[in-house]
Amino acid sequence: MSDALDLLLDRPQYANVADDAFAPGLDRVRALLDGMGNPHEALRAVHVAGTNGKGSTAAMTAAIATAAGLRTGLHTSPHLTHVAQRMRVDGTPAPTDWLADTLDAHRNLIEKTQPSFFELAVALTFRYFAEQDVDLAVIEVGLGGRLDSTNVLAPALSVITHVGLDHTDMLGDTLDAIAREKAGIIKPGTPALSAVTADEARAAIAAVAATQDAPLHRLDDEATWTTHRSGLTGSVFSLDTPARHYDRLSLSLAGPHQQRNAALAVRAAELTFLAGEDDASADAAVRDGLGDVRGHTGFHGRLDVLGNEPLLVVDVGHNPPAIAATLDTVAPVVAGRGGTLHVCLNAVRGKQLDETARLLAAHDAVVTPIPIDTRRALPPDEIAERLRAQGVTTRTPRPLADALDAFERSAPPADGLLLTGSHKLVDVLPPRFRD
């Protein structure tokens, strides 16, 4: 089995080697899928792109679909602990035996097409979802949109969550350029839904939709919501859409930013699988889905609370807007207790560390840089130096396990520790926090 899995795990991975694994274009994945019988052509899909919020929005859309009684496939990336987490049906990852058998059956095809890790993972996802006969596939884009391997889909709906300056070396260094890359998932005559707010990005998406003759729905034109309560356990909010009013929805993902993602997921559901449902059935699906996103989908890594006194939170956000949203949620809780906010941080190259540093300084965070095993990671000593230059109180870099042990031994109950900066953090969490 391990030998077969190596066919996937040994392919070049962007998370580890960046440029060596980034080969934009759809020719290889199309050749791979053709050899597998073009399973993606059988899928009814919601396709989700964006700089931030796409994973959460995809998970919430899938949770609502599962709650509505649909057999639902969810593809997200990167995975936290095992590649099978990228391809879940009703929250359950693909069996390892299935992965191994399918890889083994396609050895010659893999050798012929020479896909990257991501291309092969996407093809396997589509094959698995087709074999599982899912009613709906919710597919998160990996990087960009137009040239992303997932963009072989002909979805029922294209969703764009947010556009910001990330991966500028690959997607462009303006909001217009990046938005056009994200909007590359919009297909001719197929509805699109956008939560983008920046004027430059909105205009770019509207232009792409117009060239595709695609009906464009804008979240801020079609939905309003009111927050009743928000905290680390989630939030309660009411939502109005063109379809109906949802009163006091409980959302299990924490942070005010997740309410916007939830509103986007609800509109995505209304424009697709909830379009023909009566108000009572739609309300029940939305309420159940949003109330237990992790239970319905297995989605983790966003403001997961691992301990309470002292507070211990992990969030895999890795660019300034994501980290800002996390800090805006966690820091007030710690401050309200009268404690100190500690942060274990790593960062990869190209992630605007100086902006992250300014955010950490604004919250008086005490930061310990930690190493992660990837060629894209910034050395902890460099992180420390750059943080100090921005006025951040910075401890001596140390492995995450050591930092956690020190925090748990000495921190008063009012303090909090946030682990953030990279998906790879999960790799170095002690087993008691990963299992």
165 pLDDT above the threshold of 60: no
Q: Do 360 and 219 fall into the same domain?
A: no
Q: Do 316 and 206 fall into the same domain?
A: no
Q: Do 96 and 186 fall into the same domain?
A: yes
pLDDT band at 22 (very low <50, low <70, confident <90, very high): low
- The DSSP H or E segment spanning 273 is none
355 pLDDT above the threshold of 70: yes
Q: Do 354 and 205 fall into the same domain?
A: no
Higher pLDDT, 234 or 172: 234
Single out the residue in 261, 276, 297 at which a domain terminates: 297
CA gap 60, 293 in Å, rounded: 6
Q: Which residue has the tokens 């994945």?
A: 29
Q: Do 247 and 365 fall into the same domain?
A: no
Q: Do 287 and 423 fall into the same domain?
A: no
The number of domains in the chain is 2
Higher pLDDT, 226 or 233: 226
pLDDT band at 171 (very low <50, low <70, confident <90, very high): low
pLDDT band at 350 (very low <50, low <70, confident <90, very high): low
Q: Do 203 and 344 fall into the same domain?
A: no
Least confident of 46-55, 332-341, 369-378: 369-378
Higher pLDDT, 25 or 283: 283
195 pLDDT above the threshold of 60: yes
| pLDDT, mean over the chain | 90
Q: Do 278 and 331 fall into the same domain?
A: no
Q: What is the mean pLDDT of residues 171-186?
A: 83
pLDDT digits (tens, 9 = 90+) for 408-417: 999 999 999 9
Single out the residue in 297, 331, 350 at which a domain terminates: 297
Q: Give ∠ CA 274-275-277 in degrees, rounded to 5.
A: 60
Residue 423 sits in a domain whose CATH number is 3.90.190.20
Q: Do 63 and 127 fall into the same domain?
A: yes
The pLDDT of residue 299 is 84
The pLDDT of residue 391 is 95
167 pLDDT above the threshold of 70: no
Q: Do 50 and 169 fall into the same domain?
A: yes
Residue 408 sits in which domain range? 304-434
Residue 275: helix, strand or coil by DSSP? coil
* β strands within 309-345, DSSP E: 311-314, 341-345
Residue 159 sits in a domain whose CATH number is 3.40.1190.10
55 pLDDT above the threshold of 60: yes
Q: Do 181 and 272 fall into the same domain?
A: yes
CA gap 373, 258 in Å, rounded: 30
CA gap 181, 198 in Å, rounded: 15
Q: What is the mean pLDDT of residues 115-125?
A: 94
CA gap 47, 159 in Å, rounded: 6
pTM: 0.91
Single out the residue in 239, 262, 297 at which a domain terminates: 297
Q: Do 281 and 343 fall into the same domain?
A: no
pLDDT digits (tens, 9 = 90+) for 296-324: 998 888 888 989 999 999 988 878 888 99
430 pLDDT above the threshold of 80: no
Q: What percent of the chain has pLDDT over 70?
A: 92
